[in-house]
Chain A
Amino acid sequence: MRSGPSGLEDMKLRACRRISYLLPQAKRSSNEVLLIGEDMPDPINILVVDDEQIMRDGSSRILSKDGWEVLTADNGQQGLEIIRNQPDQIDVILLDLMMPGMSGMEVLDHIRSIDPNLLVIVITGYATVESAVEAMKKGAYDFIPKPFTPDQLRIVVRRALDKRNLQKEAEFLRREREKSLRDIATEKSKIKTIINCMGDGVLVCDRDGYIVLTNPAAGRMLKVSETSLIGNFLSQCNLDPELSMTIEESLKSKDLNYTSVSQELGIGESGETFLRAHTAPVRSDLGETMGSVTVLQDISHLKELDKMKSEFIAMVAHELRAPIAAVEQQLNVILNRVAGDLTEKQEKLLVRAKERTKGLLNLIKDLLDLSKIEAGRMVQYKEPLTLQEIIQKVVDLMRVEAENKKIDLQFPIPSQNPLIHADRTSMEGIFTNLISNAIKYTPEGGKVWVSLSEERGFAKALVSDTGIGIKKDDLPRIFDKFYRVRTIETRQIVGTGLGLSIVKSIVDAHLGSISVESEEGGGTTFTVLLPKESNPTS
């Protein structure tokens, strides 16, 4: 055992020298740690703390042969320094118990306080069982008595490394588990944050109709506090009845084709907030309904814009109408020869001019009707009526027009006379439009017939003709605003392209539906369905 200030520097240098015998991967010992999820295993580092150089060099030589890296320290302080600097890097420590200065036992205590998991094999200088036992009690993993053979050393170190492997694996798994738990928690909080920050309202119900998830936007839109929603049954939340009904329907639906329902809701005492609600059932893999999700959008500003647009159209239309009406009135006077005689040519031109002003006036009237419907003012006087009475009136009015074109207009007395809840003027508008269209687009000598029946809670009216029909390409667009079918046959027919879109708006406002079937050259049939007065689901 040497000591003294002269040799200390030299020894320190050597102690810190890292003896590295990195072998090619193929030759590496099978004992090397292969960590899960890592491509390159960390090198195995063994620290030898011994004051005797022979012991250090000998151990280094033996252990390096197995591909392990060996660090050496010639006293306890140095050893501890190395461990402190890289506690994760040291796998096994070989510690001599009998050293000058800090004793092995002391070093062991310190190591244990740095990291109790570090594996320490104590080297007992003279084979005393007592010191070995004491070291083991203090937490050493194993001991090896001096002198030892290279094989004895390897066996002891290998056993320690096996233990180290298990430790590392356990540690790795523990961290993974912690990480995934953390991930789940993060994911949950992320989703919660996203839902809470959303401008759209979210309402999630379980299969029993209890609200399990919602966000501040939903409460704001539905004008109820968020806390009064979560955990409560739908019917306890004072929600809009239409919305509650839709959610309950989606929960009850067993039909897999039932995907989602969109509806518009007026919220607030005077309906100042308009919401669009999309409700969809949530289904398990087996197609079982697990709950429902509703997303709410505030469309009040859209409605407001729409209203402004309609009012603007109405204003413009009014301003346009007066001068055109005056011009037509003047034409009427001239054509009536009140202002003097006309030549045949003059009359012909003026007749055409009057047709054009008439067309303009019709367009303006349609625009006004449309803006009225869009502003929600057209369908305001709903009352119980029979469609038969309405259709009969329109057919009587149209008879002259039909006879002028030699068209056979028929409305057989229906066997059923369904009662509906509707606005009379609007209903007259629908059938005036459809029947007058049928007459317009049917050549002379053709036939137009109207029929009325009942079908599953609906009044069903058909308007059919033997006219020129509608091309397949045009069919999907005929209810669009300003859409007109352009063909040679229709060129001479005056129209605004608004009639059918008005008809559709009216039908929609009455919760009905309209559809069309047609074949080019083979006539057209419009089908209008309107809910019956006594229909409980309407």
Chain B
Amino acid sequence: MAKKILIVDDDPDLVEAVSMILESKNYDVAAAYGGIEGLQKAKSENPDLIVLDVMMPDKDGYAVCKELKADSQLSKIPVLLLTAVVSKISTTRYTQQMGMETEADDYIDKPVEPEVLVKRIEALLSK
């Protein structure tokens, strides 16, 4: 059975592009266009992995990630954070790398090369 991946990003173009990459690798794809919707779909869609954007207007990726990890049912779902740019300028990449701001399982810079994205997802799913 194909694994299901939830993509959470407020930019529909990005959601579409990432979906196409994942669909070409035969993943099932679900999409959410904001942080709050993302949390709902994380529960309803029961995904195997979540690709989560950081900068979203209603609820940012850090907050979504925190709530996911705090939820005993959802905390096992691996989260791949898409860090286009850090949300606050003062938060340097350094703090992210040190895992000070996020409990995400991995992070990846946007835009991403399709092979890199697929490799990272495979790695997280095989854990």
Contact = CB atoms under 8 A, between A and B. Distances in A.
Interface of A: 311, 314, 318, 321-322, 325-326, 328-330, 332-333, 336, 338-339, 361, 368, 371-372, 375, 377-378, 380-381, 423-425
Contacts of B20: 333, 338-339
Interface residues of B, number: 24
B21 interface: yes
A329 B13 contact: yes
Given A338-B20, A338-B24, A329 B89 contact: no
Contacts, number: 70
29 contacts: A318-B55, A322-B11, A322-B84, A325-B110, A326-B111, A329-B18, A329-B111, A330-B13, A330-B17, A332-B112, A332-B113, A332-B114, A333-B17, A336-B24, A336-B114, A338-B21, A338-B23, A338-B24, A368-B85, A368-B89, A371-B89, A372-B92, A378-B92, A380-B90, A380-B92, A381-B92, A423-B94, A424-B94, A425-B94
B14 interface: yes
A142 B20 CA distance: 128
A318 B83 CA distance: 12
A395 B52 CA distance: 32
A302 B94 CA distance: 29
B14 A338 contact: no
A345 to B, nearest CB: 21
B93 interface: yes
Contacts of B23: 338
Interface in B64-110: 84-85, 89-90, 92-95, 110
Given A326-B11, A338-B20, A332 B111 contact: yes
Contacts of B111: 325-326, 328-329, 332, 361
Contacts of A318: 55, 85
A423 B97 CA distance: 14
Interface of A is mostly: helix
Nearest to B116: A332
A424 B93 CA distance: 11
Closest 9 CB pairs of A and B: A328-B111, A329-B111, A425-B94, A336-B114, A338-B24, A329-B17, A326-B13, A333-B17, A338-B20
B84 A314 contact: no
Given A318-B85, A378-B92, 20 more contacts: A311-B89, A322-B11, A322-B55, A322-B84, A326-B11, A329-B13, A329-B111, A330-B13, A332-B111, A332-B113, A333-B20, A336-B21, A338-B24, A372-B89, A372-B92, A375-B89, A380-B90, A381-B94, A381-B95, A425-B93
A377 B95 CA distance: 12
A329 B112 contact: yes
Interface string B55-67: 1000000000000
B17 A332 contact: yes
Interface in B2-16: 11, 13-14
Interface of B: 11, 13-14, 17-18, 20-21, 23-24, 55, 84-85, 89-90, 92-95, 110-115
A83 B21 CA distance: 118
Contacts of B21: 332-333, 336, 338
A321 B94 contact: no
A318 B89 CA distance: 10
B5 to A, nearest CB: 15
B55 A326 contact: no
Nearest to B11: A326
Contacts of B113: 332
B14 A329 contact: yes
Contacts of A314: 89
A408 to B, nearest CB: 28
Given A329-B18, A332-B112, A377 B94 contact: no
Contacts of B55: 318, 322
A533 B76 CA distance: 44
A378 B94 CA distance: 10
Contacts of A326: 11, 13-14, 17, 111
Contact of A329 (B90, B95, B110, B115): B110
Contacts of B110: 325, 329
User: B92, B111, B114 — which one has the most chain A CB atoms within 10 A of its CB?
Assistant: B111
A293 to B, nearest CB: 39
Contacts of A333: 17, 20-21, 114
A502 to B, nearest CB: 13
Nearest to A381: B94
Nearest to B109: A325
User: B23, B84, B95 — which one has the most chain A CB atoms within 10 A of its CB?
Assistant: B84
Contacts of B92: 372, 377-378, 380-381, 425
A338 B20 CA distance: 6
Nearest to B24: A338
Nearest to A324: B111
A7 B55 CA distance: 119
Contacts of A371: 89
A338 B27 CA distance: 13
A401 to B, nearest CB: 16
A380 B89 CA distance: 12
A272 B85 CA distance: 29
A488 to B, nearest CB: 31
Contacts of A381: 92, 94-95
A372 B86 CA distance: 12
Nearest to B53: A322
A476 to B, nearest CB: 31
Contacts of A339: 20
A356 to B, nearest CB: 13
A517 B85 CA distance: 36
Contacts of A361: 111
A377 B111 CA distance: 25
Contacts of A375: 89
A314 B93 CA distance: 15
A375 B23 CA distance: 43
User: A325, A326, A329, A330 — which one has the most chain B CB atoms within 10 A of its CB?
Assistant: A329
